[in-house]
Chains A and B, each alone.
Chain A
């Protein structure tokens, strides 16, 4: 499903400044788009708007909100600690009838490398394992639109890398239009088909950068490193200080 985002303005009530300025882009069906910007640039707010959690903004959306079957992976795994893994997965799939069988859940868990954890409570799993469950949860609804809000943040490189693989594998089955928000440029380059750079808040689009490297990629692949270096050399003020890019920079 094609996603069209056209936000004219978003201001949180009681704030003097807009969180998001003019921000318009689209993503083709099945495309993987990464949105890279400094911390506090309003990226999470953007995802909330697209998910329909925040309806207080000026602008419009197509292929999002209530129109699309949605998968959402948050910064924290956000599993319900009092439900075991299987019940956490069943919770988000109430529309499925009949409900997910034990065998389907076990198969899903095996696919993300978590065989035999269905009866475990989330707090007994490591952080990386909880994130795998959260990823699987997002895919069990067979999403048309998948929103990822820095889901690999605060993980060590090998764990993050293994989660990239899990994500790629899960995506290959369902192929949702995917939006990844991150402030880690390497991660964006390793995963996405296209990277959108947004400015400091009020967030605006400053660069739309396609990535035509073959997949799968790793964050330390030579080609990824080369692209990372080239981008920083080409747009030093944009990326050298993701934290200092000014909102009025023109898109390339």
Chain B
């Protein structure tokens, strides 16, 4: 095949075949090694089906998803509000900047331990611990966007005395969408990762808790099955939610 032909292949086909090659390599290596500590993709798939139909995978996945959603919404709301505020006001920025740097560098584990000890081993503490890890990165992102707002367009709102709420909705937020989308993407990834650690630490359900249990039995097949279920959800959110949203918000670009 010549290079021109390769480049005309649809993007989806390229992505799928890369994943497929990975699976095939994994399967071959697993055969060769033949050790329960390296289960083959086929074994993982069988385990996944088993956990889906007979186990509690859906229950734990649901729990984890709820926590991810709650932490995500809180982090985005707080992060965007504070970010815009800090980006538009020097005073507010000076007030919160030190705290922001501190929060950015606060280890996830420390935030989790503090929340669990101070608030208790409950849902609120878990969700808050996750959100606390994400909020500072959202703020940092959105603050950049708020600093880069186009004064010329803001002046249009000012000259025509457009009410504040409308200015925010129609003039400010659309300029922040790229920053918000970037925060949402990286945020979802970060929250996924942290939520499991926090479940492992202080909850008795959710995927993180389950992984901890499988770890104690060295049940690698189940761990990978849970991971696969989880990866499928991430792909679904990206394809069904984020990408269509992106397209919608960018429809005006010529």
Contacts and interface: CB of A to CB of B under 8 A. Distances in A.
| Dominant secondary structure at the B interface | helix
Interface string B109-149: 00000000000000000000000000000000000000000
B252 A82 contact: yes
A196 interface: no
A13 to B, nearest CB: 14
A123 B155 contact: no
Contacts of A209: none
Interface residues on A, range: 20 to 34
Interface in B151-169: 152-153, 155-163, 166
B153 A72 contact: no
A52 B158 CA distance: 9
B244 interface: no
Contacts of A51: 159
A121 B254 CA distance: 8
| Dominant secondary structure at the A interface | loop
Interface in A190-234: none
A66 B220 CA distance: 71
B152 A94 contact: no
B153 A80 contact: yes
A121 B163 CA distance: 23
Interface residues on B, range: 20 to 34
B59 interface: no
Contacts of A52: 158
A80 B254 contact: no
B208 to A, nearest CB: 40
A205 to B, nearest CB: 24
B171 interface: yes
Nearest to A123: B254
Nearest to B171: A80
A92 B174 contact: no
A82 B174 contact: yes
B6 to A, nearest CB: 33
Contact of A92 (B152, B156, B251, B254): B156
Interface in A88-110: 91-95
B167 to A, nearest CB: 9
A144 to B, nearest CB: 13
B158 A141 contact: no
B170 A80 contact: yes
A109 to B, nearest CB: 18
Given A83-B170, A91-B170, A94-B166, A72 B160 contact: yes
Interface string B215-254: 0000000000000000000000000000000000101111
A81 B159 contact: no
A81 B254 CA distance: 9
Contacts of B254: 121, 123-124
A74 B152 contact: yes
Given A123-B252, A123-B253, A78 B153 contact: yes
A141 B157 CA distance: 13
A85 to B, nearest CB: 11
Contact of A76 (B152, B161, B163, B251): B152
21 contacts: A51-B159, A53-B158, A53-B159, A72-B156, A72-B160, A74-B156, A78-B152, A80-B170, A80-B171, A82-B174, A82-B252, A84-B252, A91-B156, A91-B160, A91-B166, A91-B171, A92-B160, A93-B160, A94-B163, A95-B161, A121-B252
Given A78-B152, A124-B254, 14 more contacts: A53-B155, A53-B158, A72-B159, A78-B153, A80-B174, A81-B252, A83-B252, A91-B162, A94-B161, A94-B162, A94-B163, A95-B161, A123-B253, A123-B254
